[in-house]
Amino acid sequence: MTRTIQNDFTAPALPPIVITASEAHRLSALADSSMAVFPRVAQFLARETDRARVVADDSELPDVVRMGSRVRYRDDETGDVREVVLVYPHEADIALRRISVLTPVGAALIGLSVGQTIDFQTPSHQTRSVTILAVKQQS
């Protein structure tokens, strides 16, 4: 006998995201190569790159979080506002507020625009939500 389980939980809709073609390619490769070591965050990053709208590398994206962007965001649970630069893992340095895209919050930030909110899961399996307040592209 087959049993159907009713679940009233509805996952929040994911905000639309935009990634350039070269970043999408590099992030997808990073997610694939990291699956064995960081499976949860690698799967999350892979999902984000798969669902992103991919645009040409020379597209103007002033309010979109890209690699190297300086991002100000709010932790919606605590209200804390943080400013970080989103970088590839080898460039990460928490003392300089340079966070890796291969962290849960880093993977959540990529491709978002000012005003958008996204949920992500912390390493301790808690769901957190962040809202993008400002994005500055580094030159």
Q: Enter the CATH code of domain 18-55+64-137.
A: 3.10.50.30
pLDDT mean over 31-49: 94
| Residue predicted with more confidence, 28 or 6 | 28
DSSP assignment of 75-102, as one string?
ETTT--EEEEEEE-GGG-BGGGTEEETT
pLDDT of res. 6: 47
Task: Name the pLDDT band for 67 (thresholds 50, 70, 90).
Answer: very high
pLDDT tens digits, residue range 87-123? 999 999 999 999 999 999 999 999 999 999 999 988 8
The helix/strand/coil state of 109 is helix
pLDDT of res. 132: 98
The helix/strand/coil state of 85 is strand
pLDDT of res. 12: 62
- The ranges assigned to domains in the chain are 18-55+64-137
pLDDT of res. 97: 97
Number of neighbouring beta carbons within 10 Å of residue 133: 14
Number of neighbouring beta carbons within 10 Å of residue 44: 19
Inform me whether the pLDDT recorded for 9 exceeds 90. Answer: no
pTM equals 0.87
